[in-house]
Structure 1
Amino acid sequence: MKPTALYTETRVRADLDTLWSATQEPARHRRWDLRFTEIEYLPRADGEPQRFRYATRLLPFLTVAGTGVAAGERQRPDGTRTSALRFSSPHPLSLLAEGSGYWRYVPDGDGVRFLTGYDYRPRWGRPGALADRCLFRPLMGWATAWSFDRLRLWLERGITPERALLNWLAEIAVRVVVVACAVSGLGLEPLLRLLGPFAAPLAYLLPVLLLTAVCLALFLPPRVGTPAARRCLRTPPTRVRAPRLLRTLETP
């Protein structure tokens, strides 16, 4: 069975031109999009689609790169905007061989519905298809949604992408420490006996307190300044179709 194409949608309370600039300018795009380390436009002749190069650093000494071609429609009769792209990577370590996708910008009251849909073909045959279905595709879906929320925080609250990443790492660290302390605290019953008459009630309450701490660490919603994939819509509310603009682009 063919895997489901990836979809992410968020609502950003920002001006349409501001959102367009933050997503279409490579220098700004790579700041908030977790999927890319580098994005740069390549030289082009007048009238040709924009070609670009992208790269993702998997390890300090390993970078996977690819190329793509993109086109955008800034003035559509219904007031929306669209951007479409095709991309491919010849790198043998890139599970993603080639793919295509689009961005849509739909004005909505005091904000913009910003959504994407994309799909790709994995390489490495059946092992690659299995790795994609079980690990890579869910990871890509999460990274897209997390990045969309980081973009929203930047444009709505002025929290820079760099600061948002630090907020996320700090919150993850606190949650991990709380869980680790709670798990290690399960073996404190022998020490409680040193408290004499207070040992019995404390020994009874300790598991409850530790379990409560673990539940809070695992399930408490992220802080408002911390990006979270859960805030984005991951399933299209209605059946969506790729824009016709996508059919005009050739695979790079």
Structure 2
Amino acid sequence: MGKRRGLTESAKRTPIYVEIHIRATMERVWELSQNPELHPRWDLRFSRIIPVDHDANGQLRFRYEFLLPLHAIKGTGTSLGHRHRSDGQATSVLKFDTADVLSPIGAGAGYWRYLPTAEGLRFITGYNYQPGMGLLGQALDARFIRPALGWATAISFDRLRLWAESDLEPQDSRNRWFMDAGARVAGLVGAAALLRRAHHPRTSAGSALGMTVLGVSAALASWALPAHGSVPRAGRCSRTAPNARSARAPSALADLESPGQHHSEDEATVSKTAAGNITAPVGKN
């Protein structure tokens, strides 16, 4: 009864949806996203992707790693890409799992859609998963872990866009993000110092007014000035599906094998539950 209740609760978890428009060719985006050596360079969710083998149906089995300062989270997955479609679209489906007790996500499934447009393509992902880390992970998932994963996915998509459109290497866009973030933090710290000095008893009224104006201006600039176009931003992505078709997982996902060959019945049920519940919320636009 407890396990069934857990599966029912997981079905209510909101899937993660991210979409971005990339002004590049299908061939370029497909290569950067499907190549196991290139994919981890822009995707913050992976440190390494190691292909294992292909089966007779073209399904790829792989291992993945996410490196932490003192630990490497490891897992397995299966994926299948469909490149040639009569309508010009391409899709890729994925199932993943891990036995690592420190992983914030457990068994899950997702998809990528590549939808051609007049100026490039719409690159879309939708995925869902079972929380990891036991009861702690379940408690933290909706409020902290899932939003963090959504942000990481979105900023990764913008890093991919910059790479595909302007050949800006992912490590360079990462460095520019750190420089931008550092400048904004420095501006806020400087603003706080000015405002504190403005309220010092020994500061004259005229100086206090000038420091206050400078402090407020610095704080507003640090917060509101838009980032340079070469700085990746999660806000450039849409986080809600514009229509039901974009949010619907490709039919191939249902037939994709779960990773691993020795799943117990409960683990297989968890994987099927995650795979069958990745339809994202659909917006009105």
1:45 Cα offset (Å): 4.0
Aligned equivalent of 1:153, options 143, 162, 167: 162
Structure-to-structure mapping, 1:31-110, within 5 angstroms: 31-59=41-69, 61-110=70-119
| Residue 264 of structure 2 corresponds to residue 250 of structure 1 | no
Structure-to-structure mapping, 1:220-231, within 5 angstroms: 220-231=225-236
Check whether the contact 1:192–1:203 (CA below 8 A) recurs between aligned residues. no
Distance in 1 between residues matched to 2:195 and 2:149, nearest whole Å: 37
Letter in 2 for 1:251: S
1:181 Cα offset (Å): 1.2
Q: Which residue is 2:221 aligned to? A: 216
Instruction: Tell me which moved more, 87-96 or 36-45.
Output: 36-45
Q: Which residue is 1:136 aligned to? A: 145
Check whether the contact 2:188–2:222 (CA below 8 A) recurs between aligned residues. yes
| Residue deviations 1:163-184 (CA, integer Å, cap 9, x gap) | 0000000111111111111112
Check whether the contact 1:7–1:234 (CA below 8 A) recurs between aligned residues. yes
Check whether the contact 1:70–1:249 (CA below 8 A) recurs between aligned residues. yes
Instruction: Tell me which moved more, 179-188 or 42-51.
Output: 42-51
Structure-to-structure mapping, 1:110-189, within 5 angstroms: 110-189=119-198
Give the secondary-structure state (helix, strand or coil) at the position aligned to 2:175. Answer: helix
Residues paired across the two proteins, number:
246
TM value normalised by structure 1: 0.93
* Percent pairwise identity: 39
Distance in 2 between residues matched to 1:64 and 1:92, nearest whole Å: 9
| Residue deviations 1:70-119 (CA, integer Å, cap 9, x gap) | 00111112110000010001111112110000000000012010000000
Distance in 2 between residues matched to 1:36 and 1:191, nearest whole Å: 53
Distance verdict in 2 for CA 1:152–1:184, change over 3 Å: same
Q: Which residue is 1:196 aligned to? A: none
Give the secondary-structure state (helix, strand or coil) at the position aligned to 1:26. Answer: coil
Letter in 2 for 1:38: R
1:191 Cα offset (Å): 8.8
Distance in 2 between residues matched to 1:44 and 1:76, nearest whole Å: 21
Distance in 2 between residues matched to 1:128 and 1:30, nearest whole Å: 24
Aligned-residue CA RMSD in angstroms? 1.6
Check whether the contact 1:42–1:51 (CA below 8 A) recurs between aligned residues. yes
| Residue 217 of structure 2 corresponds to residue 207 of structure 1 | no
Instruction: Tell me which moved more, 35-44 or 111-120.
Output: 35-44
| Residue deviations 1:187-240 (CA, integer Å, cap 9, x gap) | 3245974xxxxx433321321221121121122221111000000001111122
Check whether the contact 1:192–1:202 (CA below 8 A) recurs between aligned residues. no
Letter in 2 for 1:244: S
Give the secondary-structure state (helix, strand or coil) at the position aligned to 2:53. Answer: coil
1:159 Cα offset (Å): 1.0
Gaps of 5+ in 1: 194-198
Distance verdict in 2 for CA 1:71–1:188, change over 3 Å: same
1:128 Cα offset (Å): 1.8
Gaps of 5+ in 2: 1-8, 260-285
Distance in 2 between residues matched to 1:221 and 1:3, nearest whole Å: 33
